[in-house]
Amino acid sequence: MSSELMIEMKNVHKWFGELHVLNDINLEINKGEKIVICGPSGSGKSTLIRCINRLEEHQRGNIIVEGTELTNDSRSIERIRGEVGMVFQQFNLFPHLSILDNCSLAPIWVRKLPKAEAKEKAMEYLKRVQIDDQAHKYPAQLSGGQQQRAAIARALCMEPRIMLFDEPTSALDPEMIKEVLDVMVGLAQGGMTMIVVTHEMGFAKEVADSIIFMDEGQIVEAKNPKDFFDNPESERTKTFLSQIL
Amino acid sequence: MSAANKEIGPPVIELGVMGWLRKNLFSNWYNSLLTIFGLYLLYILIPPLVNWIFLDANFVGLTRDDCTNEGACWIFIQQNIKLIFYGLYPTEELWRINFVYLILFISGLYLLIPNLKHKGWVGAFLLIIFPIICVVMLSGGLGLEAVETRLWGGLFLTLVIAGVGIVLSLPIGVMLALGRRSKLPVVSILCTIFIEIWRGVPLITVLFMASNMFPLFMPEGVNFDKLIRALIGVMFFSAAYLAEVVRGGLQAMPKGQYEASQAVGLTYWRMMALVILPQSLKMVIPAIIGSFIAIFKDTTLVLVIGLFDFLGIIQFVGTNPDWLGFSHEGYVFAAAVFWVFCYAMSWYSQRLEKKLDTGR
């Protein structure tokens, strides 16, 4: 695997008011790496990935995505958002647009693709997540699992080099989790650089190059899956693992 | 007996007209009492009204002396119809107003018929080219004789004021709402001040200011048309109310919609135009149309600055010595016409809501 550096976080800090939500985060992610982040709620894991595409602003330290440093400069933010796709816990599809339009909106308006081409590409990705037959329906007419797959397709349509997943299966009924995870596994096998916040430890074991455990805004432990599950070092990791496994 | 094997249907008592009556009108003693009372009210109100408006009314004739029946004297309206509909607009130029109505009617109809193509172009025509046609046709220019706005009046004037107010106030209102929620403090404060000042002042004061005070602040010789001043007043007044309605819709939007738009790389204006406004405006359609209806009816206040709108001119012709004593007919007619326009807006809003409903 090439070791092209995709994301670099150096001494990143963030506070919500008095609350220190990210405390000295240092992280390097190479091209094609799959990182799973887990930890108790409130540990800062969502905030961490939301800092990568500037949905949250970090207050200290540096975040460099594909060589572009994230600053207040709106051009750097736009460039990075173009390279980074995101999938949310609550799907956040645009309810007033059909699934196909959800997927082709940004390619048309941000990438400036001709409409026909954008729709064609959207259909391709919808086929890849196996909901091309739902393309002309509205989000409200789809099941949760289908909506989340549509949201993944929407992100992929921008042809991002990095994908962020913020608890993508937490809002799903149990029987729909697998269909979403299958899509994500497929994506991982295709070589996408992925950062996934999730508690799906089966998924972590299967695809993660490294698992990061966070607590109270800090990275407590970062290891490959085998070591992470077999020899966790920190007490906090052990407690957490005993609670979710 | 095979009764037990039969499919079970609804109990017979719920079915048919009798079932409906029993369920909805006579379900218990006080419901029955209310039903009977309601029927009695209709009985004493409806027949006299129908008699006055239709059966005993006078429809044919030229002067008040032809109104020999006991009912309404619609001849009063007929004889003054030109004034009521067009004000003092020169008779030989009336075709210009009618021409504008015709264009509006045809393109409006086109937009209403489902599944026609090129609706976007017709809409763009209505919003961009049609106003220019209106200005030229109505006030003159390009070889057409100029018609001063002091001659404009009647239903025509009402439609001009309400139309301009409604069409221009929505975009201004949207911009004000976005401005008030802006992260830039200067923009937000300015928009808030603007909105609150306009909302804190009665329309009648706005119109007085526009008509009497405004010229005092202008340099000697500069004279804005009174109608234009009134239009600007009505427009900003309505925009301030709409801004708050729209802001309500913006606040009801889930945060996830903003985040998802940003995550796919949409810039602020694109996010607003493509994702946030289409949804939030849709949510507040009933309130927006409510504002439009209010503005339509509020145009009657321009009477206080000497513009004779539809209602104003009806009152005016009622003071004509030839037609004294027919104000009832005038007001009933005015009410009916206002109702038709307002109900049309209400009907359209419901239609629009249904059409745009994509679930959540």
Q: What is the ipTM of this complex?
A: 0.93
Tell me whether residues A86 and B263 touch, CB distance under 8 A. Answer: yes
Residue A232 has pLDDT above 60, yes or no: yes
B292 with B253, same domain: the answer is yes
Express each pLDDT in A191-202 by its tens digit: 999 999 999 999
Query: What's the pLDDT at B325?
Result: 84
B138 with B167, same domain: the answer is no
For the packed helices B154-180 and B185-199, what is the interaxial angle rounded to 10 degrees?
A: 150
B165 with B135, same domain: the answer is no
The alpha-carbon gap from B114 to the nearest alpha carbon of chain A, in Å, equals 19
- Which one of B264, B269, B279 makes the best mutation probe of the A interface by having the most chain A beta carbons within 10 Å? B264
In angstroms, how far is the first alpha carbon of chain B from the final one?
51
Residue A161 token pair: 């080099």
Query: What's the pLDDT at B5?
Result: 59
Tell me whether residues A155 and B262 touch, CB distance under 8 A. Answer: no
**Mean pLDDT (whole number) for A82-94:** 95
B165 with B198, same domain: the answer is yes
- Could you tell me which of A76, A82, A150, A80 has the C-alpha nearest to residue A111? A82
B268 with B291, same domain: the answer is yes
Give the residue from chain B lying closest to A106, CA to CA. Answer: B264
Element (H, E) at B106: helix B94-112
**Residues in A touching B266 (Cβ below 8 Å):** 105-106, 109-110
Residue B4 DSSP one-character state:
G
- pLDDT (tens, 9 = 90+) of chain B, 360 residues, equals 455 556 777 666 566 788 888 888 888 889 999 999 999 999 999 999 999 988 888 888 888 888 888 888 888 888 888 999 999 898 888 899 999 999 999 999 998 888 888 888 998 999 899 999 998 888 888 888 888 888 898 999 999 999 999 999 999 999 999 999 999 999 999 999 999 999 999 999 999 888 887 777 777 766 778 888 899 999 999 999 999 999 999 999 999 999 999 999 999 999 999 999 999 999 999 999 999 999 999 999 999 888 899 999 999 888 888 888 888 889 999 999 999 999 999 999 999 999 888 876
In angstroms, how far is the first alpha carbon of chain A from the final one?
31
**Residues in B touching A103 (Cβ below 8 Å):** none
B306 with B174, same domain: the answer is yes
- Could you tell me which of A109, A89, A114 has the C-alpha nearest to residue A97? A109
Please indicate, yes or no, if residue B320 is contained in any of the structural domains.
Answer: yes
pTM: 0.86
The alpha-carbon gap from A101 to the nearest alpha carbon of chain B, in Å, equals 11
Domain span at B134: 90-146
For the packed helices A144-156 and A99-109, what is the interaxial angle rounded to 10 degrees?
A: 20
Please indicate, yes or no, if residue B303 is contained in any of the structural domains.
Answer: yes
CA distances (Å), origin A210, targets A11, A46, A53, A144, A193: 20, 17, 21, 28, 12
Distance CA B254, CA B248 (A): 12
Amino acid making up residue B47: P
The alpha-carbon gap from A159 to the nearest alpha carbon of chain B, in Å, equals 10
Please indicate, yes or no, if residue B2 is contained in any of the structural domains.
Answer: no
Strands (DSSP E) along chain B, which ranges? none
Distance CA B294, CA B288 (A): 10
Contacts of A232 (CB under 8 A, 6+ apart): A213, A221, A223, A238, A241
The total of structural domains in chain B comes to 3
Element (H, E) at B156: helix B154-180
Of B259, B264, B279, the CB nearest to A95: B279
Give the residue from chain B lying closest to A96, CA to CA. Answer: B358
**Residues in B touching A97 (Cβ below 8 Å):** 358
The answer to whether A212 and A9 are in contact (CB under 8 A) is no
Interface of A with B (CB under 8 A): 53-55, 74, 78, 81-82, 84-86, 88, 90, 92-97, 105-106, 109-110, 138-141, 151, 154-155, 158
Domain boundary (B121, B146, B171) is at: B146
Please indicate, yes or no, if residue B253 is contained in any of the structural domains.
Answer: yes
The answer to whether A77 and A83 are in contact (CB under 8 A) is no
CATH number of domain containing B317: 1.10.3720.10
B184 with B287, same domain: the answer is yes
**Residues in A touching B120 (Cβ below 8 Å):** none
B130 with B167, same domain: the answer is no
Q: How far is CA A231 from the centre of its chain?
A: 26
B247 with B128, same domain: the answer is no
Q: Which residues of B151-182 are buried (b: 16+ CB within 10 A; e: fewer)?
A: ebbbbbbbbbbbbbbbebbbebbbebbbbbee
Tell me whether residues A158 and B262 touch, CB distance under 8 A. Answer: no
Of B261, B270, B278, the CB nearest to A96: B278
User: Pairing state of beta strands A218-223 and A60-65?
Assistant: unpaired
**Residues in A touching B261 (Cβ below 8 Å):** 94
B45 with B164, same domain: the answer is no
The alpha-carbon gap from B183 to the nearest alpha carbon of chain A, in Å, equals 14
Distance CA B360, CA B351 (A): 18
For chains A and B, count residue pairs whose Cβ atoms are closer than 8 Å: 75
Distance CA A110, CA B331 (A): 56
Please indicate, yes or no, if residue B5 is contained in any of the structural domains.
Answer: no
B108 with B176, same domain: the answer is no
Distance CA B341, CA B50 (A): 22
Query: What's the pLDDT at A119?
Result: 96
Contacts of B149 (CB under 8 A, 6+ apart): B139, B225, B226, B227, B228
Please indicate, yes or no, if residue B298 is contained in any of the structural domains.
Answer: yes
Please indicate, yes or no, if residue B71 is contained in any of the structural domains.
Answer: no
Q: How does the average pLDDT of chain A come out, rounded?
A: 93
Query: What's the pLDDT at A115?
Result: 95
B256 with B124, same domain: the answer is no
Please indicate, yes or no, if residue B100 is contained in any of the structural domains.
Answer: yes
The alpha-carbon gap from A72 to the nearest alpha carbon of chain B, in Å, equals 14
Tell me whether residues A106 and B279 touch, CB distance under 8 A. Answer: no
